[in-house]
Amino acid sequence: MRATPSWIEGLHRLKPVPLAMGHDLTFRTALAAGLGLVAAAGNLVGGYFVVRRDWPRKYLQYFLALGAGYMLAVAFVEVIPESVRLSGESALLFVLIGYFIVHLFEHTLAPHFHFGEETHLEEMSHQHARTSVLVGLTIHTFFDGVAIAAGFLVSTWLGAVMFFAVFLHKLPEGFTVASVVLASGQGKRNAILAAGLLGVATVAGVALATSLQGQLRYALPLSGGVTLYVAATDLLPEVNREPNWRMALLVFVGVVSLLIMQHLFHV
């Protein structure tokens, strides 16, 4: 049931996005830039672990589980409702578009992609396979950056929860791309470069979304759809593949963490 007649919502959509001006916005923009760099560094660290080879596989798996639960909670109870508040129910169309942008590039155009260590040397022997994974992940990580910036354009709270949602899967992202490069027969240097490319795409997403503030009504629901996809379609299947009760439990810990954060910090 909607209380607001649709013509009022139509008018509402014509109004510019209400943004707090001045000091506060400058502060939040700076936070978005700083945390965007931290997230980008997460990609590099993930890549570095793979190249070093004696990396803590188990702990990175735990990040996947925690990230999946937390990201789904952020998408459903924070990003999507906030997007609808911003531009009405039409925001949901952009959530859908965001979801399928990632699907198109990660799983339609790419013949072989999954989150986690790439061990299928045969599939990765074709250059097209490696390139398409790189392109897919670069587009995905660009939206990670957009998500952080769009969050901070709304509020410090939303920016912070978006940052955690992104950061929790940054290490796994880095080791995924680096292991794809290694599995395709390329050297360590290229593996690190690929992880660095994801970092650069993240920072570019932050920069673009910050400079196009007027497009927040699209950027926020789009990044909500991307968050949904990464959590539900990239991460959860990897969690379900592991017959490990700790992984299953951590998904719920992720969900509850967001609810607790909300209870403690969201005014």
Binding site for Zn ion (CB under 5 A): 118, 120, 144
Tell me the closest approach of the beta carbon of residue 257 to Zn ion, in angstroms.
18
Residue whose CB is less far from Zn ion, 76 or 90? 76
Angstrom distances, CA of residue 248 to CA of 115, 235, 253: 17, 12, 9
Between 82 and 144, name the residue whose CB sits nearer to Zn ion: 144
Q: Least Å distance between CB 103 and Zn ion?
A: 14
Query: For the residues of 81-150, what is the DSSP string, one character each?
Result: HHHHHHHGGGHHHHHHHHHHHHIIIIIIS-SS--SS----HHHHTSHHHHHHHHHHHHHHHHHHHHHHHH
Nearer to Zn ion, 31 or 230 (CB): 230
Cβ distance to Zn ion smaller for residue 106 or 118: 118
Q: How many CA atoms lie within 13 A of 112 on its CB side?
A: 17
Least distance CB 193 / Zn ion (angstroms): 18
The smaller minimum CB distance to Zn ion, of residues 153 and 168, is found at: 168
Instruction: Decide if 151 contacts 164 (C-beta within 8 A).
Output: no
The pair of structure tokens assigned to 83 is: 């997007």
Smallest gap from residue 15 Cβ to Zn ion (A): 32
From the CB of 87, what's the least distance to Zn ion, in Å?
24
Distance linking the first and last C-alpha atoms of the chain: 26
Q: How far is the CB of 82 from Zn ion (least distance, A)?
A: 19
Q: Which of 183, 184, 166 is nearest to 235 (CA)?
A: 166
Residue 86 vs 180, nearer CB to Zn ion: 180
Cα distance between residue 82 and residue 161, in whole Å: 13
CB distance 253 to 66 below 8 Å: yes
